[in-house]
Structure 1
Amino acid sequence: MSKLFYGRAKIINGTALLRFEKKGSVQQLIHELKYREQQDVGLFLGNWLGEELKTIEAYKSIDLVIPVPLHKNKLRRRGYNQVTKFGQQIAKALNTDYDESVLIKITNTTSQVNKKRFARWSNNDELFSLINKEKIENKHILLVDDIITTGATIEACIQVLNRADHVTISIATMAIA
């Protein structure tokens, strides 16, 4: 994962639990989580990755876990953010806080599932906003998401989080394509 962001966004550590392949079992698992209200998938994957991360020295310095947010309209339609339980379980395993009040999605975009690489990047200007930035100043943040394809969404989040003073960022996702 570090190679994916090299030269694009500074991260301390990056990890993905699973490898995503089209029409594979990981795609089905994430589809169940996102579109069939199977939030237990996020719980299970968060427990699994959390148990792994707490044994790795580099993740013991995490001060706060923050999810990639959904726009309020999508959140209202779906009823939940698919990475909430995932992130909460990781925070619990790392004995740290989980906070959804720092990073918000301000632009409602359509799903990126069928978009090509360039369209994903060009679609990410000012999608997110940082509020309560004092909560993350001088902190090591673990940014969590469900899947990384091009990395454009995570990169946009990192750019916004870096507006706070002395913040360092690591990434953990359910899967990487």
Structure 2
Amino acid sequence: MDFSLWPAASRTWREVLEGAEYAERTGWHGVWVADHFMQNGDDLSVPVNECLALLAGIVNHWGNPKLAAHKGEVFARHCEKIGRDPKSVRRSAQTMLEVVVPGDTEAIERKERLESRGGHVIMGSAQEVLDTVAQYPAAGIDELLVPDSFLGTGNRRFEALERLREEVLAKL
């Protein structure tokens, strides 16, 4: 399974570049940029970066492995009707991933806030995150996009990404 970084649209280009350089330097598969406006907070006056991209939205997915598997089954049935091999399409999912340091009350509060807004969040110990992430390949997901919009800024952002890379991604 591949992992790509997804910088928040509200990040400056300098921050996007720093994230892309980090991803390249540490072996991430790629960097994705949102193709449409995505509100990452309550303040709509914050400028955002957007790019135009064509996505296979029907097979890209935000959520858990069980939903990814269901969408894959639906997609496969549609492919069968038109004579296309569903395995010829790379499928991706997006989810918020974070290995939480024990006692990090800020992370726990953030998880509760994100879940209350309907976000799919995989946050917990390295083993908890690993156990959930390991279910995506069986659900037909080839690449997991990791949005960084909730990881904070500066060192906190890169420390969280490094924990994820060392404690989860390296074990897959």
TM-score class, shorter: 0.3 to 0.5
Task: Give the TM-score normalised by the residue count of structure 1.
Answer: 0.39
- Point out the structure with the larger strand share: 1
Determine which structure has more spread, i.e. the larger CA radius of gyration: 2
Task: Give the TM-score normalised by the residue count of structure 2.
Answer: 0.40
- Point out the structure with the larger helix share: 2
